[in-house]
Amino acid sequence: MINWPAKASPFIRPIGAERSAECAAIHATSFTYPWQEADFEQLFVAPGTFADGAIEAKEEHLAGFILSRIAADEAEILTIAVAPEWRRRGIATSLLKPHLYGLAAIRVSRLFLEVDAENTAARALYENFGFEQVGERKAYYRTAGTELAAALVMRRDLL
């Protein structure tokens, strides 16, 4: 039997629909308008979906995930989220690295995403990975208040 430390580092591997409930639970802790388990089930079986999870080693729980959709030689990160108790431990970084390599390996040449302009954590993460702002959609996201938040469109070339 392996004696795992209390918080052994998660390992990264591709995930599928069997993780839908866990993805929905993490999404609910991360966004004002979370996606439901059924939304994830649909995404996982849709053509072009590409997803990786950070799996906590001891109990095999999901600590975070990233989900992209591929169309021709482009892809879009649809969502990335890390469970609150695992944040600031390098999990999103560990997810993005193999995810980007994996997309490049199947000849995806450009990766896009949209991020809430006020989400400083996510913007810093993406900038670390060389994403650059290529557009802005004003009044795009519903927020908990009455204001609509702007979305920044970011791009990173992979090939």
Residues tagged active-site: 114, 126
Sole binder of ligand COA in the list 125, 152, 154, 158 (CB under 6 A): 125
Sole binder of ligand COA in the list 14, 90, 130, 135 (CB under 6 A): 90
Please list every residue from 135 through 154 that binds ligand COA, using CB under 6 A.
Answer: none
Using the contact rule CB under 6 A, the part of the chain among 38-46, 103-111, 121-129, 135-143 near ligand COA is: 121-129
Site track for ligand COA across 27-66, x = CB under 6 A: ---x------------------------------------
Please list every residue from 98 through 117 that binds ligand COA, using CB under 6 A.
Answer: 115
* Helix (H), strand (E), coil (C) string for the chain: CCCCCCCCCCEEEECCHHHHHHHHHHHHCCCCCCCCHHHHHHHHHCCCEEEEEEECCCCCCEEEEEEEEEECCEEEEEEEEECHHHCCCCHHHHHHHHHHHHHHHCCCCEEEEEEECCCHHHHHHHHHCCCEEEEEEEEEEECCCCCEEEEEEEEEECC
Considering the rule CB under 6 A, would residue 69 count as an interface residue with ligand COA?
no
Sole binder of ligand COA in the list 122, 152, 154, 158 (CB under 6 A): 122
Using the contact rule CB under 6 A, the part of the chain among 34-42, 102-110, 123-131, 132-140 near ligand COA is: 123-131
Pairing of the two strands 11-14 and 74-82: unpaired
Rounded to a whole number of angstroms, the CA Rg of the chain reads 16
Residues that bind ligand COA (CB under 6 A): 30, 80-82, 87-93, 115, 119-122, 124-125, 128
